[in-house]
Chain A
Amino acid sequence: MIVAEQKPLAEILHLIEGYNKLLLLGCGSCVTVCLTGGEKECEILASALRIKRRLAGKPVEIKTHTVTRQCDPEFIDELQDMVEDVEAIVSMACGVGPQYLAERYSDKYVIPAMNTKFVGGSIQQGIWEERCSLCGDCMIHLTAGICPIARCPKSILNGPCGGAQNGKCEINNELDCVWHLIYKRLAAQGRLDLLKRIIPPKDWSESRDGGPRRMIKEGI
């Protein structure tokens, strides 16, 4: 899933400065799962913003609502009535949500309340970690099911680099060197031969470097 976190409150307050009637819009998808932009977080953020603005002598009127998905026009269309009398829409979805809102309600100021972090999953209660960098050409069958593109800070395909020591990455000694993990898993599987092969350079045209991508599912 897409993992996103809320921007600091001070930053959101700065972004809504001068706006007195807002729609704060949660998203029922990924950000609900990672507990940052769903219905509950939407209400909490709205309260926090109202209190701060009241204390600053500049009260703000905030309507709240959470849609099933902000990345789908049909759920955005529903908002027509709600959007009409607000000055700005604050989105709590990943980076896709505010873009859909800005496109559909092009006369409104749309503010992102979130920083979209990565595609990943939870590793324990309350902790999420990056697992995929959307390169468009998956090859983790060669690397013991561990993605070095997403998880090595240098995205090295024939690692580890010379900076890894004691199983940790050179940039942070709390970060596992993914190539160390790959090595250990392949060793346990008796498949170390895979590491003797040189993995060829990546075709980055399949990734975002080839421009924004589109997927078409035939027969729909």
Chain B
Amino acid sequence: MLTSAGSNLERVLKSGRHVVTAELGPPKHSSPHNIIRHTKTLKGYIDAANVTDCQSAVVHMSSISAAFHIMNNGIEPVVQVTCRDRNRIAIQSDLLGAYSMGLKNVLCLSGDHQMFGNHPTAKNVYDIDSIQLIQLTRRMCDEKLFFSGAAIKEFEPKFFIGAVANPFADPFEYQVDRLEKKINAGAEFIQTQCIYDLERFARFMEMCVERGLHERAHILAGVTPLKSSRAAKFMQNRVPGISVPEEIVRRLTKAEDQKTEGISICIEQIKYMKENVKGLAGFHIMAISWEEIIPEIMKGAGICQCS
């Protein structure tokens, strides 16, 4: 039996209402000023803010600290935890600390390899992988045990545990199995990688629905508005695990105002998925360095239910 974390995100997802979450990247400095500003912009729009853990292996403020600022300014955060930089001891210690501050949602992932970031000569950790991290967090919450089996005598944390899925990674046919493995490990909600190839995503979701995975975990479709054709090409060539169809690059290249076109594409994608893709519990908007555009996208796509 999975214990309940009692987070807002969990409550809304379990109520069956479609949710919208958004990514908020912590700053590359020690001031919470910008994240607080973004939090205030998005308050009332999104159900939760997902806070990245040194995304692209570039040093940022820690996801737990940034999440704390976001929570204090009115949005419930989802704390990302990657396996790249911490071993099982450090991760459990951080989970206890995060819960002590009132953070109730975690998202478990492997993390981008350090060679993508600003410290490519760093040693990586990967003591455990993302699936084992889900198990670790579950064990702390459900069994009141540390990963080693030692008891958490009192005050065990209660997290709402999420994981990621990438329908655009290969081998394609294995991605659904791997998602199922994450759900079997105890993931309750799933965020997907940024979706541009709608056809492939639809196929992925059909396979999930066939297996009933959408009933065992809440699946949120990830979208990222593209600011320019240059951004699209960067995504296409430089970001691991993302597939951007040529058509999108062409549309952006031809557009007079690439930003407006990028917003239109994102809105169209959300609308398409809302109407045509079964099994989705909501959307996760990753507007990288463009957080202020999220309300406009939500209004345009008609997913502005919580304002």
Q: Is the CB of A157 within 8 A of B170?
A: no
List B contacts of A132 (CB < 8 A). none
A156-195 interface code vs B (CB 8 A; 1 in, 0 out): 1111111111110011000001001001100000001001
CA distance A184 to B168 in the complex (A): 18
List B contacts of A170 (CB < 8 A). 112-113, 116, 240-241
Q: How distant is B260 from chain A, measured CB to nearest CB, in Å?
A: 30
Interface flag for A126 (CB, 8 Å): no
Q: How distant is A159 from chain B, measured CB to nearest CB, in Å?
A: 7
Interface flag for A14 (CB, 8 Å): no
Q: Is the CB of B132 within 8 A of A200?
A: yes
Contact of A198 among B83, B181, B240 (CB under 8 A): B181
Q: How distant is A123 from chain B, measured CB to nearest CB, in Å?
A: 22
Contact status of A165 and B169, CB under 8 A, knowing A156-B126, A158-B131, A198-B185? yes
Contact status of A180 and B113, CB under 8 A, knowing A154-B124, A155-B126, A198-B181? no
Interface residues contributed by chain A, number (CB under 8 Å): 29
Among residues 203 to 243 in chain B, which have CB atoms less than 8 Å away from a CB atom of chain A?
Answer: 240-241, 243
List A contacts of B110 (CB < 8 A). 154, 156, 161-162
Contact of A196 among B83, B128, B180, B193 (CB under 8 A): B180
List B contacts of A204 (CB < 8 A). 127
Interface flag for B84 (CB, 8 Å): yes
CA distance A200 to B170 in the complex (A): 23
CA distance A196 to B177 in the complex (A): 7
Contact of B131 among A153, A154, A198 (CB under 8 A): A198
Top 4 closest pairs, chain A to chain B, by CB? A163-B240, A170-B240, A162-B166, A158-B131
List A contacts of B287 (CB < 8 A). none
CA distance A157 to B131 in the complex (A): 9
Q: How distant is A67 from chain B, measured CB to nearest CB, in Å?
A: 33
CA distance A201 to B88 in the complex (A): 10
Interface flag for B201 (CB, 8 Å): no
List B contacts of A160 (CB < 8 A). 169-171, 174, 178
List B contacts of A158 (CB < 8 A). 129-132, 178, 181
CA distance A155 to B126 in the complex (A): 7
Q: Which residue of A is nearest B134, CB measured?
A: A198
Q: Is the CB of B170 within 8 A of A177?
A: yes
List A contacts of B165 (CB < 8 A). 162
Q: Is the CB of B127 within 8 A of A162?
A: no
B237-258 interface code vs A (CB 8 A; 1 in, 0 out): 0001101000000000000000
Most buried by A among B127, B130, B166, B174: B174
Contact of B169 among A163, A198, A202 (CB under 8 A): A163
Q: Is the CB of A157 within 8 A of B181?
A: no
User: CB within 8 Å of B: which residues of A?
Assistant: 153-167, 170-171, 177, 180, 183-184, 192, 195-196, 198, 200-202, 204
CA distance A147 to B39 in the complex (A): 44
Contact of A201 among B132, B170, B193, B243 (CB under 8 A): B132
Contact of B147 among A157, A165, A167, A201 (CB under 8 A): A201
Q: How distant is A33 from chain B, measured CB to nearest CB, in Å?
A: 29
Contact of A166 among B84, B111, B170, B177 (CB under 8 A): B170
Q: How distant is B110 from chain A, measured CB to nearest CB, in Å?
A: 5
Q: Is the CB of A154 within 8 A of B241?
A: no
List A contacts of B168 (CB < 8 A). 165
Interface flag for B164 (CB, 8 Å): yes
Interface flag for B135 (CB, 8 Å): yes
Contact status of A201 and B177, CB under 8 A, knowing A153-B113, A165-B170? no
CA distance A155 to B54 in the complex (A): 19
Q: How distant is A148 from chain B, measured CB to nearest CB, in Å?
A: 9
Interface flag for B115 (CB, 8 Å): yes
Q: How distant is B162 from chain A, measured CB to nearest CB, in Å?
A: 14
A-B contact pairs, 21 of them (CB 8 A): A154-B126, A156-B110, A158-B131, A159-B129, A160-B169, A160-B178, A161-B169, A162-B109, A162-B110, A162-B240, A163-B113, A163-B240, A165-B170, A165-B241, A167-B171, A170-B116, A184-B171, A196-B177, A200-B132, A201-B132, A204-B127
Q: How distant is A219 from chain B, measured CB to nearest CB, in Å?
A: 36
List A contacts of B128 (CB < 8 A). 201
List B contacts of A166 (CB < 8 A). 170
Contact of A163 among B177, B178, B184, B241 (CB under 8 A): B241
Q: Which residue of A is nearest B88, CB measured?
A: A201
Q: Which residue of B is nearest A155, CB measured?
A: B126
Q: How distant is A186 from chain B, measured CB to nearest CB, in Å?
A: 10
Q: Which residue of B is nearest A195, CB measured?
A: B177
